[in-house]
Structure 1
Amino acid sequence: MSFTASPTFWNRARHAERRPRLLERQRTTSYVRRWFEAKGFVEVDPAALQPSPGIETHLIGFETNLERPDGSTSVAYLHTSPEFAMKKLLTAGETRIFSLSHVFRNRERSALHAPEFTMLEWYRVGAPLTCLMDDCAALIALAAHIVGAKAFAFSGRTANPFEPPERLTVREAFLRHAGVDLYDSLSPDGAPNPAILARQMKAAGLRVAEDDIWSDMFSRLLSERVEPNLGVGRPTILHDYPASEAALARVRPDDPRVAERFELYCCGVELANAFHELIDSEEQRRRFEADIAEQRRIYGVSPPIDEDFLSALADMPDASGAALGFDRLVMLATGADRVEAVQWAPVFDPGADG
């Protein structure tokens, strides 16, 4: 779907129509900053240009050349998240930090995606993941209170932002909404069995491609059967992800099938992603290398690993962190139907008509 709004946001009549939501965005920004500062957080401002865009299978970065005064060049990337830089700051000695950073993701444009958007990211040293669950619930309620919203709504779904979020494990969600027990396709040590999940997918009436790996099928089940039902009536915290989907999170010590990761949903919209942060640099390298191999297979790209990040990770203290799509939060709070409606000057779309 192509949106033609971006090139003409400066039209006077159009801006007058958009302005009330933009002012609500600004008020929300101010109050969110106060909320974090009142809890002893320091706001940081990481550089957008990084040696790696961030490495996750389905995140594609923007690549550019960094030119030095002597004429030499090196490849640089606009970050897909401030995560690497912020974790380096934790290693440097910071204990409670947050940022409202512009981040950049290529090949993404829809009602819920924009090539450039604002990420609210925060970290707590020594805090359990449940503490960040409480943070997320408080931030949703704060945004609703600021704009005077009684309910959030999107795509025919509604939720009460003041209700405590339902906490649902991934296994419970898949059983409830897809009729699939993920544990049937996971060995006791967490290794996924794609053949078993493929049979479960077909039984549920979903397509399976010949080259699908377990992660592909998991993502399809999640997006097509589970996510649309999350955060309806009240927010949902989806936790205990399969270890193979851990990303930068730790695997739970008492159950190697499960990662210490959660996502926050409201009205079927994913708002936040949070980890009990992995600090094993060798394990993180193995995960990066696996993700890079998948990116090469699917998209034909191979981003570099930020070696400086892995060096810092080895000395990082125990911490939990979360990243929340700020534009999406404001979109839900103000009743907008797409994230670009709450961006002051959306990225132009050279492929749009009009």
Structure 2
Amino acid sequence: MSLTSAKASPWWTPDVHADRRPFLIGRNAIQAALRLYFAGEDFVEVDTAALQVSPGNEAHLHAFATEALTTDGQPALFYLHTSPEFACKKLLSAGEQRIACFAHVYRNRERGPLHHPEFTMLEWYRAGESYETLMMDCVRIAALAAETAKASKLMYRGAEADPFAGPERISVAEAFDCYAGIDLLGSVAADGSTDREHLAAELRRNGLRVAEDDGWADLFSRALVEKIEPHLGFGRITILDEYPVSEAALARPSGRDPRVAERFEVYACGVELANGFGELTNAAEQRRRFEIEMAEKARIYGERYPLDEDFLEALQIMPEASGIALGFDRLVMLATGASRIDQVLWAPVAEYGR
């Protein structure tokens, strides 16, 4: 067999496993340390079902579908969840105050050094507490992960971030102005509606590609990926805050500026680690936003997912809360120095396709 056609040894061969094992032992230690952290903060750890009537309703998230059969053989469509969010919010509606969840989640069309079709999402929710509290949770958790791994820095492919230093906090609008020279909020009205032509002109002026069929969200994402994210989380953790409301379907509008929402993301070494919200609790508004997201999904991908009517009903009695989803495997990667997500997964999903 030629060198070019040779296949890499599978993860279960002893030599490959020996190389991966330090990362995996580090994973276990970090998970144990985080469980102690949440217990010390009076959180209850919950375990949610992966099978759901809706996998989530974000336009660019892709789910795995499956067919359930009733006892008399009748089919019913279910999905593997892309996040435990809907179930966790139902538990807040039921009366839980602080909950945390290590959930295996499933996302289709995702595979690469930082992506895997099945991975672990760490989510936690605080009823009656601000989303700024979650930011501080994230900073403490990143430091705890590094400390547990006996690392002084978070690292990814030569990049470093000091988790013990104070984080940088910058709004999305400030980042667009600073790193791309784009007036982002000039294309967002007070009611949250967006002006595609204004943003397209801003991108063209700064040398970014604009296609005829690009919507405002496409343009926003292109500028974010190409101009903003390459600057985030280097040297120290970055908290990117106040996303436009149209890019925060599950977050409530900011009391400071109705054009933006209480949504933030956490970056380290250029890697997105977490996505947090001040949670939207208006069921009618949530339905409206989900319908917009699913219309966009249908436009781009030719499919849509059902709404979880149970979730929308529960939202009517859900208390004010903040919640966050953190990619646990990515955190382990950065704390242990792994370069690929499959190095920190005990049993990766088999390769498929090309």
Aligned to 1:327: 329
Aligned to 1:351: 353
Q: 2:90 aligns with which of 88, 91, 105?
A: 88
Aligned to 1:256: 258
Q: Which is further off, 173-182 or 100-109?
A: 173-182
Query: Structure 2 matches for 1:110-121, cutoff 5 A?
Result: 110-121=112-123
Q: Which runs of 5+ in 1 are unaligned?
A: none
SS in 2 for 1:241: coil
Q: Partner amino acid for 2:317? A: D
Contact 1:227–1:268 under 8 Å retained in 2 = yes
Superposition TM-score, scaled by structure 1 size:
0.96
Q: 1:19 aligns with which of 18, 21, 44?
A: 21
Q: 1:37 aligns with which of 39, 44, 62?
A: 39
Q: 1:137 aligns with which of 126, 136, 139?
A: 139
Contact 2:9–2:16 under 8 Å retained in 1 = no
CA distance in 1: counterparts of 2:253 and 2:24, whole angstroms: 40
Pick closer, same or farther for the CA change 1:5–1:20 going to 2, 3 Å. Answer: farther
CA distance in 1: counterparts of 2:67 and 2:133, whole angstroms: 40
Aligned to 1:302: 304
CA distance in 2: counterparts of 1:189 and 1:49, whole angstroms: 36
Aligned to 2:3: none
CA distance in 1: counterparts of 2:223 and 2:256, whole angstroms: 26
Aligned to 1:243: 245
Identical-residue share of aligned pairs (%): 56
* Structure 1 residue ranges, 4+ long, deviating more than 3 angstroms after superposition: 4-7
Q: Which is further off, 173-182 or 131-140?
A: 173-182
Q: Partner amino acid for 2:212? A: E
CA distance in 1: counterparts of 2:123 and 2:130, whole angstroms: 16
SS in 2 for 1:258: coil
**RMSD value, Cα:** 1.3
**Alpha-carbon distance, 1:254 to partner:** 3.6
Q: Which runs of 5+ in 2 are unaligned?
A: 1-5
- Partner deviation per Cα, 1:210-267 (whole Å, 9 max, x = no partner): 1111111001100111011101110000001111111200011342111011100001
Q: Which is further off, 173-182 or 186-195?
A: 186-195
- Partner deviation per Cα, 1:10-42 (whole Å, 9 max, x = no partner): 001100110011000000011111100111000
Pick closer, same or farther for the CA change 1:48–1:259 going to 2, 3 Å. Answer: same
Contact 1:112–1:339 under 8 Å retained in 2 = yes
Contact 1:165–1:237 under 8 Å retained in 2 = yes
- Partner deviation per Cα, 1:272-291 (whole Å, 9 max, x = no partner): 00000000001000010001
CA distance in 1: counterparts of 2:153 and 2:8, whole angstroms: 27
Q: Partner amino acid for 1:158? A: E
Contact 2:245–2:260 under 8 Å retained in 1 = yes
Contact 2:131–2:278 under 8 Å retained in 1 = yes
Contact 1:112–1:338 under 8 Å retained in 2 = yes
**Alpha-carbon distance, 1:85 to partner:** 0.3
CA distance in 1: counterparts of 2:103 and 2:21, whole angstroms: 22
CA distance in 2: counterparts of 1:158 and 1:179, whole angstroms: 26
Contact 1:6–1:345 under 8 Å retained in 2 = no
- Partner deviation per Cα, 1:290-332 (whole Å, 9 max, x = no partner): 0101111111111000000000001100100000000000001
Contact 1:251–1:258 under 8 Å retained in 2 = yes
**Alpha-carbon distance, 1:6 to partner:** 9.2
How many residue pairs end up in the alignment? 349
**Alpha-carbon distance, 1:5 to partner:** 9.1
CA distance in 2: counterparts of 1:117 and 1:6, whole angstroms: 22
**Alpha-carbon distance, 1:351 to partner:** 2.4
